[in-house]
Amino acid sequence: MFEFELLHTDAQTGARLGHLHTPHGIIETPCYMPVGTQACVKAMTPTQVADVGAQIVLSNTYHLYLRPGHELVQKAGGLHRFMAWDRPILTDSGGFQVFSLEGLRKVTDDGVTFISHIDGSRHLFTPEKAMAIENALGADIIMAFDECSPYPCEEARAEAAMHRTHRWAERCKAAHHDERQALFGIVQGGFTPALRQESARFLTDLDLPGYGIGGLSVGEPKALMYDMLPIVTGELPAQKPRYLMGVGSPDCLIEGALRGVDMFDCVLATRIARNGTALTSRGRLVVRNATYAEDFLPLDENCDCYACRNFSRAYLRHLFKAEEITASTLLSIHNLRYLLSLMQGLRHAIANDSSQAFRAEFYRQYGGDGLGKF
């Protein structure tokens, strides 16, 4: 039910073109996955998400466990039926969300005890509990429970978190029995190359269907993240998909793919859309700004999305100023379409061994050199 086909590798950069087969369809890689944290991509319907070209969406185990509860989702027929999405779904394990609850959680070898951000109730996540929740949700790809170390972080702390992640990965594998779901391990190790290599090798030995790369994009300089990626991908098996977790700015998608990554996700595109910021081929555009009050051009003349085909910057600015809900929907449609089109173009470039030229043209239009803030 789950297979990764490596179709082509760019001779110049090592960027990979692939097909990821799942029970709910084939995913062309490298791919960007829109995030539907609570079984919904914010401000959008499933039809709109499909129309912009999304092949797969990501949902959040931690949030769905707390509300409405994984048992309810299972009674509804699983996450696909519950949210009316018939394409692939990936669920994370909740590890990063629990990691984010600084002061509200306690980590032991058994698992993580944490306080709900919703009602203050106390909960325990173990690897076995995470697997039970993800099995009940029924996503095509599920992530092992891990411990993410912060940045900056002492090497000893990163090493301890890595070893705990490895032990938890073994427990996740033992607890997971649904062959319809592919369990991915997560590489940790902080920002020490030797630890990253050790983690990748350990997880490779578990022979899992795929591998996430965690603990990056947690506040470190982009140059440091880019340095870590080839260290990890160089140790991971070529015939398994590689997923860089929590990364989704246009530059990071390109830089990650050119370093051998196949899958990405991030809330960035829809979050900044709700604040009035558009991703365009010429850089970010803050449509709330007064300079667009009488600007009747589309957000991006190179974009074929519903918003750009029908509405002007002036109209979209008006919607934001009037606090109309539709403003968030239209900018979310645009931003997701922009990233998904970017990945489509990148896949075409990889197929033609021209991903390096694609990268150069992107920066020529967008600005920057890949190391700054986007």
With 50 as the cut, is the pLDDT of residue 366 above it?
Answer: yes
Query: What pLDDT is stored for residue 369 in this prediction?
Result: 66
How far is residue 290's CA from residue 64's CA, in Å, rounded to a whole number? Answer: 39
Q: Which residue has the higher pLDDT, 219 or 373?
A: 219
With 90 as the cut, is the pLDDT of residue 350 above it?
Answer: yes
Query: What pLDDT is stored for residue 370 in this prediction?
Result: 60
With 50 as the cut, is the pLDDT of residue 373 above it?
Answer: no
> CATH: 3.40.50.300, 3.30.70.60, 3.40.50.2300, 3.20.20.105. Which one for 56-266?
3.20.20.105
With 70 as the cut, is the pLDDT of residue 279 above it?
Answer: yes
* Every domain of the chain and the residues it spans: 56-266, 278-356
Name 147's Cβ contacts closer than 8 Å, sequence gap at least 6.
95, 99, 107, 112, 161, 164, 165, 168, 188
Q: Is 265 a catalytic residue?
A: yes
State both tokens at 235: 């140790």
* pLDDT tens profile 118-172: 999 999 999 999 999 999 999 999 999 999 999 999 999 999 999 999 999 999 9
CB 94 within 8 A of CB 168: no
Please state the rounded mean pLDDT for residues 16-21: 98
Query: What pLDDT is stored for residue 280 in this prediction?
Result: 98
Name 142's Cβ contacts closer than 8 Å, sequence gap at least 6.
90, 91, 93, 131, 134, 135, 176, 181, 182, 183, 184
Q: Which of 10, 92, 146, 300 is catalytic?
A: 92
Please state the rounded mean pLDDT for residues 184-191: 98
Query: What pLDDT is stored for residue 76 in this prediction?
Result: 98
Q: Which of 140, 251, 265, 300 is catalytic?
A: 265
With 50 as the cut, is the pLDDT of residue 364 above it?
Answer: yes
Q: Is 119 a catalytic residue?
A: no
How much is the mean pLDDT over the chain?
A: 96
